Amino acid sequence: MPVATALYVVTPIALFAALYSVFGYAEYEGTMLEVQKIFYFHVSSAFTAFTAFAVTCICSIAYLVKRCVKYDLVAAKSAELGLVFCTIVLTTGPIWARSSWNTWWNWEPRLTSTLILCLTYVGYFILRTSVSTEQKERFASVFGIVAFLNVPIVYYSVKIWQTGGLHPPTTTRSHLAESMKHAWLVSWLALTLIYASLLKLNIGFSWAQYRLNKLQARTYSN
Amino acid sequence: MVYGVAIFQTPMIAFHQALWLVRKDLSLHLRSKNVLALVFIFSLLVVLVFNFAFGPTPLPAEDQGRLTASVLWTAFSFAGIITLTRSIEIDRAYGGLDAVRLTGTAPSLIYLSKVVSNVIWLTLIQAAITPVALLFLEALDQVSWLSLLKLIVVLAMGTIGFCAVGVILATMSVRAGGESLLTVILFPLIFPVIMAGAKCTVSILTTSTIGNRFWISLLVTYSLVFLSCSYLLFEFVIEG
């Protein structure tokens, strides 16, 4: 419990620190000005979504090995949050693309991979809601593992597909100024903490719901 | 029993079991002629729809190659979904899968034999449909026999990747939403296969070569990764 309390206290502080570092500390980019500020939340959301799906994969493996419902709950809730962060990436990405390249969508590899990732995990939830309780956990765990294995393959293939050769252009990460790098790291930390807090809260609710359902089923069967 | 004999006997038994399962699946495919007709007609309809959409005016060679690749891969993806679903459904409806499991056959072996039988069956269907599709798309005259052979090899390699993921997901989806569910959960996972297959197809149709070797390596890597992963996970799908 103290760990959870600490998490709930630190998260808002980190969020305010991120807002300050993005809007008050980091310098403005020369050509894009304010629009460049999207970068800090866009990239951090992508990293957080990736972390969330990694947690889903690990918990899916743990469920198949241990057969403990709690692992499946964590996997499902983490995938849910991963989808939320994917939606942030897919919303901020086109805004960035419109300002930067004068188009809402230009099949940029990372954005395209995120779209495919998002569709994959929508499939994860469709599968979960389509099958009965006992099978749901097993099937979702298998899908959670297979889906995560596909992430690097999709990313790499989209990258080559978009650039058309084996030598894609280098990223602009090295061009970031020091203050921008610091602001990005703080934003990333803040979003990861938000993810951890929401996950903790969600697991608590779901576990209570699960136990209530069990209790109700037992009461009615008696 | 001498240990050495057991060591050599186990792979041989497994091989024979897999062979019988593949034969069983292929004869089931052969007997369900309505599915064969459905897949064939469906693929032809896809070709016709695309043809009508792009009009009777001939396209430049590069665009014609792209159109043909899109048509072929769209037709084969949906034909694959129908075939996979029916292949698992037949087994499930008549208790075939349970009966096979009662014989003590390893689940991973059941998975491998399903992949092999579906790859053989889909490749045969593709080999039959491809020339007809090329004929309707007015591309048959531009393709040599060697290019046609290369095209079928690429389609077969794509089919291995497709079936590696498809068999495990179809086994899950037949217990719930069937074909509609399989379409939604399978397509995002096979984008790399479609991407690589379509790129190779365009290259074969326009230059008669495979083109960028990356796409062939991607097809091989994808198939290997998902064959090994699904080989290990299939047991969890069919238990209970």
Task: Share the mean pLDDT of chain B.
Answer: 86
Contact residues, chain B, for A148 at CB < 8 Å: none
Res A53: pLDDT? 95
Give pLDDT tens digits for A116-148.
999 999 999 999 998 877 788 999 999 999 999
pLDDT band at A1; cut points 50, 70, 90: low
**With contacts defined as CB-CB under 8 Å, which chain B residues touch A138?**
236-237, 239-240
| pLDDT tens sequence across A174-211 | 567 788 888 889 999 999 999 999 999 999 999 999 89
Residue of B178, B175, B159 lying closest to B115 (CA atoms): B159
Identify the pLDDT of residue B96: 83
Q: How far is B107 from chain A (nearest CA, A)?
A: 15
User: Do B173 and A127 lie within an 8 Å CB cutoff?
Assistant: yes
Can you give the pLDDT at residue B214?
85
Of A41-55, B52-66, B87-101, B142-156, least confident by mean pLDDT is: B52-66
> pLDDT value at position A140?
94
pLDDT of residue A168: 41
* Contact predicate B131/B140, CB 8 Å: yes
Residue of chain B whose alpha carbon sits nearest to that of A147: B189
**A146, B226 in Cβ contact below 8 A?**
yes
Q: How far apart are CA B202 and CA B62, in angstroms?
A: 8
Nearest to B120 by CA among B213, B24, B16, B198: B24
| Interface touch A142/B236, C-beta < 8 Å | yes
Among A123, A126, A157, select the one facing B192 at the smallest CB separation.
Answer: A157
Domain ranges within chain A, ordered by starting residue: 2-168+177-208
Q: Average pLDDT for residues A59-73, to the nearest whole number?
A: 93
- How much is the pLDDT for A78? 96
Of A21-35, A110-124, B153-167, B222-236, the least confident: A21-35
Share of chain A above pLDDT 90, in %: 47
Q: How many of the other CB atoms lie within 10 Å of CB of B216?
A: 18
Determine the distance in angstroms separating the CA of B31 from the nearest CA of chain A, rounded to an integer. 30
Nearest-CA distance B82 → chain A (Å): 18
Contacts of A80 (CB under 8 A, 6+ apart): A125, A202
Q: Does B218 touch chain A (CB under 8 A)?
A: yes
- Calculate the alpha carbon distances from B82 to A147, A171, B29, B40, B77 in Å: 22, 42, 12, 11, 9
The domain spans of chain B are 3-238
What residues of B are in contact with residue A135 (Cβ under 8 Å)? Answer: 172, 175, 240
B201 touches chain A (CB under 8 A): no
Chain B residue numbers with beta carbons less than 8 Å from the beta carbon of A116 are 188, 191
Question: Out of A95-109, B16-30, B221-235, which region has the weakest mean confidence (pLDDT)?
Answer: A95-109
The identity of residue B146, as a single letter, is: L
Which one-letter DSSP state was computed for residue A62? H
Question: Mean of the pLDDT values across residues B199-217?
Answer: 86
Give the global pTM: 0.88
Residues of B in contact with A82 (CB under 8 A): none
Name the residue among A124, A139, A166 with its Cβ closest to that of B237: A139
Q: Choose among B159, B226, B169, B149: nearest CA to B196.
A: B159
8 Å CB contact of A131 and B226: no
B221 touches chain A (CB under 8 A): yes
Q: A109 to chain B: which residues are within 8 Å by CB? A: none
Q: Minimum mean pLDDT among A75-89, B19-33, B224-238: which range?
A: B19-33
Flag whether residue B212 sits within 8 Å of chain A, measured between CB atoms.
yes
A102-116, A143-157, A189-203, B64-78: range with highest mean pLDDT: A189-203
Mark out chain A residues that contact chain B at CB-CB < 8 A: 64, 116, 119-120, 122-124, 126-127, 130-131, 134-135, 138-139, 141-143, 145-147, 149-150, 153-154, 157-158, 160-161, 165-166
Q: Do residues A179 and A25 touch, judged by C-beta distance below 8 A? A: yes
In this prediction, what percent of chain A has a pLDDT beyond 70?
A: 92
The torsion defined by the Cα of B189, B190, B196 and B200, in degrees rounded to 10, comes to -170
pLDDT band of residue B65 (cuts 50, 70, 90) is confident
